[in-house]
Amino acid sequence: MRLGIRLGVDVGRVRIGIAVSDPAGMLATPVENVQRGDGDVERLAELVKEREVIEVVMGFPRSLSGQEGPAAKEVRAFAAKLTQYVEPCPVRLVDERLTTSGAMRAMRASGVSARKGRKSVDQAAAMMILQDALDAERASGVPPGEVVTRS
């Protein structure tokens, strides 16, 4: 397992959920939400710099059949743009199928209402995406996902 802090990102239409790992790459924790729109990429770049992140792990919303739909294309374009702001820090796309629904289920199970949890679900999804990536790398010894190249 490589040492270093990773930033987990769940790109939504309204908000971007952010999570971060510990330096050992063992545990993901939620950090904040960033509003989509003006300044969103810049804020992520600030977090990368502030936290001395070694890579960004971004959820990639493939369909259940594994195909890339409109949401996946939008995330891929966002990741390519972010790459320009955070180089040489790599941005990786990792499969995020069902993470938002899983995060919502976990929050409901812990007693958080859907209304109150709406803002937290993005961070919880980012945390799940990042934790899955950390666990996969620890199990295989290989960094997860696909590295995004600059557009």
% of the chain with per-residue pLDDT over 90: 70
Are the C-beta atoms of residues 20 and 35 closer than 8 Å to each other? Answer: no
Cis status of the peptide bond prior to 88, with omega within 30 of 0? yes
Instruction: Find the helix packing angle between 120-140 and 99-109, rounded to 10°.
Output: 110
- CB burial class (10 A; 0-12, 13-18, 19+) of residue 103? buried
Q: Establish if 145 belongs to a structural domain.
A: no
Tell me the CATH number at 31.
Answer: 3.30.420.140
54-113, pLDDT tens digit by residue?
999 999 998 777 778 899 999 999 999 999 999 999 999 999 875 555 555 555 566 655
Q: How many domains does the chain have?
A: 1
Q: Establish if 105 belongs to a structural domain.
A: yes
SS3 (DSSP) at 118: coil
Q: Establish if 58 belongs to a structural domain.
A: yes
Q: Where in the sequence is the domain holding 86, given as residue range(s)? A: 5-140
Q: Establish if 151 belongs to a structural domain.
A: no
